[in-house]
Structure 1
Amino acid sequence: MMEDTIAAISTPFGEGGIGIIRISGEDALLVLEKIFRRPGGRRGMEDRKMTYGHIVDPADGKVVDEVLCVYMKGPKTYTTEDVVEINCHGGIVPLRRTLELVLRSGARSAERGEFTQRAFLGGRLDLTQAEAVMDLIEAKADRTFDVAMGQLEGKLSEKIRDIRKDLMDILVNLTVNIDYPDEDIEIVTYEKLNAALKSAAQKVRTLLDSARTGRIISEGLKVAIIGKPNVGKSSLMNNLLRESRAIVTDIPGTTRDTIQEKLSVKGIPVLLTDTAGIRETEDRIENIGIQRSKASFNEADLVIFMLDSTRPLSGEDEEIIPHVDPSRAVAVLNKVDKGQVITSDQIRERLPGVELIEASMTEETGLEAIEDAIVRRVYQGEVSMSSDSMVTNARQSDFLSKTEKHLRDALRLTDLGEPLEIIELDVQEAYENLGSIIGESVSDDILNEVFSRFCLGK
Structure 2
Amino acid sequence: MDTDTITAISTPLGEGAIAIVRLSGPDAISIADHLFEGKKLEKQTSHTMHYGKIIDPETEEAAEEVMVSLMRGPKTFTREDIVEINCHGGLVSVNRVLEIVLSQGARLAEPGEFTKRAFLNGRIDLSQAEAVMDLIRAKTDRAMNVALKQMDGRLSKLIQSLRQQLLETLAHVEVNIDYPEYDDVEEMSHQMMEEKTKEVLQEVQKLLQTSQQGKILREGLATAIIGRPNVGKSSLMNALVHENKAIVTEVPGTTRDVIEEYVNVRGVPLRLVDTAGIRETEDIVERIGVEKSRQVLTEADLILLVLNYGDELTAEDEKLFEAVEDLDVVVIVNKTDLPEKLDMERVRELARDHSLITTSLIKEEGIDELEQAIADVFFEGELDAGDMTYVSNVRHIQLLKQAKRSLEEALNGMEMGMPIDVVQIDVTRTWEILGEIVGDTVHESLIDQLFSQFCLGK
Query: TM-score w.r.t. structure 1 length?
Result: 0.94
Counterpart-to-counterpart distance in 2, 1:155 and 1:185: 39
- Shift in Å, 1:376: 2.0
Residue range with higher mean Cα deviation, 344-353 or 65-74: 344-353
Map 1:186-335 to 2 at 5 A. Answer: 187-188=187-188, 190-325=190-325, 327-335=327-335
Is the Cα–Cα contact under 8 Å of residues 210 and 382 in structure 1 kept in the other structure? no
What's the counterpart of residue 161 of structure 1? 160
How do 1:37-436 residues align onto structure 2 when only pairs under 5 Å count?
A: 37-38=37-38, 44-182=43-181, 187-188=187-188, 190-325=190-325, 327-380=327-380, 384=384, 389-436=389-436
How far did residue 172 of structure 1 move? 2.0
Which residue type is aligned with residue 139 of structure 2? K
Q: CA deviation at 1:268?
A: 2.2
Q: For the residues of structure 2 that align with 1:189 and 1:382, how far apart are their CA atoms?
A: 43
Q: Distance in 1 between matches of 2:385 and 2:234?
A: 30
What is the identity, as a one-letter code, of the residue corresponding to 1:393?
A: N
Change (3 A) 1:248 1:387: farther
Alignment partners' CA distance in 2, 1:340 and 1:178: 79
Per the TM alignment, residue 59 of structure 1 is displaced from its structure 2 partner at its CA by 3.0
Over 3 Å counting, the alpha-carbon distance change for 1:256 and 1:348 in structure 2 is same
Q: Which moved more, 1:334-343 or 1:139-148?
A: 334-343
State the shift of 1:290 in Å. Answer: 0.6
Shift in Å at residue 109 of structure 1? 1.1
- SS state of the match for residue 338, structure 1? coil
Question: Which residue in 1 is equivalent to 2:21?
Answer: 21
CA contact (8 A) 2:30 2:42 kept: no
Larger mean CA deviation between 209-218 and 410-419 belongs to: 209-218
Q: Give the drift of 1:402.
A: 1.1
Q: Secondary structure at the match of 1:336?
A: coil
Tell me the percent identity.
44
Letter in 2 for 1:17: A
Is residue 173–residue 188 contact of structure 1 (8 Å, CA) maintained in 2? no
The TM-score, its normalising length taken from structure 2, stands at 0.94
Distance 1:400 1:43, change over 3 A: closer
3-state SS, counterpart of residue 305 of structure 1: strand
Q: 1:50 to 1:182 in 2, by over 3 A?
A: same
Verify the 8 A CA contact 2:227 2:307 in the aligned structure 1. Answer: yes
Q: Which runs of 5+ in 1 are unaligned?
A: none
In 1, the alpha carbon distance for the partners of 2:51 and 2:320 equals 67
Post-superposition offset of 1:219: 1.2
- Alpha-carbon offset, residue 326 of structure 1: 5.3
How far apart are the structure 1 equivalents of 2:156 and 2:41? 46
Shift of 1:384: 4.7
Q: Quick one: distance in 2 between partners of 1:53 and 1:44?
A: 15
Residue in 1 that maps onto 2:455: 455
Q: CA separation in 2, counterparts of 1:211 and 1:277?
A: 34
Q: Tell me if the contact between 1:190 and 1:417 (Cα under 8 Å) persists in the aligned partners.
A: no
Deviations 1:179-223 (A, max 9, x none): 222259965254443332222112111212222221211111111
Post-superposition offset of 1:382? 11
Matches of 1:277 and 1:239 in 2, distance apart?
A: 18
Partner Cα separation in structure 1 for residue 42 and residue 200 of structure 2: 58
Is the contact made by 1:79 and 1:116 (CA closer than 8 Å) also made in structure 2? yes
d(CA) in 2 for partners of 1:152 and 1:330? 35
User: Retained in 1: the 8 A contact 2:223–2:300?
Assistant: yes
Deviation at 1:421, TM superposition (A): 0.7
Matched with 1:442 is: 442
Query: Is 1:190–1:414's contact at 8 Å kept on the other side of the alignment?
Result: yes
Deviating more after overlay: 383-392 vs 266-275:
383-392
* SS of aligned partner of 2:47: coil
CA contact (8 A) 2:145 2:385 kept: no
How much has 1:334 moved relative to structure 2? 1.5
Structure 1 residue 159: deviation in Å?
Answer: 1.8
- Partner secondary structure for residue 50 of structure 1: strand
Letter in 1 for 2:150: Q
CA drift at 1:420 = 0.5
Contact 1:344 1:356 in 2 (8 A): no
Deviation of the 1:90 alpha carbon: 1.4
User: Residues 89 and 95 of structure 1 are in contact (CA less than 8 Å); yes or no, is this contact kept in structure 2?
Assistant: yes
Q: Please state whether the residue corresponding to 2:361 is helix, strand or coil.
A: coil
Residue 166 of structure 1, CA deviation: 2.3
Gaps of 5+ in 2: none
SS of the residue corresponding to residue 307 of structure 2 reads: strand
Distance change >3 Å, CA 45–CA 362, structure 1 → 2? same
Distance 1:313 1:385, change over 3 A: farther
Superposed CA RMSD: 2.1
Comparing 258-267 with 110-119, greater Cα deviation is found at 258-267
Indicate how the Cα distance of structure 1 residues 42 and 450 shifts in structure 2: closer, same or farther if over 3 A, else same.
Answer: closer
Preserved CA contact (<8 Å) 2:111 2:455: yes
Paired letter, 1:413: G
CA contact (8 A) 2:313 2:342 kept: yes
The alpha carbon displacement at 1:44 in A equals 3.6
Q: Secondary structure at the match of 1:430?
A: helix
| Letter paired with 2:101 | V
**Partner Cα distance (2:184, 2:72) in 1:** 50
Q: Structure 2 vs 1, CA of residues 283 and 75 (structure 1 numbering), >3 Å: closer, same or farther? A: same
- Gap change, CA 1:189 and 1:35, over 3 Å in 2: closer
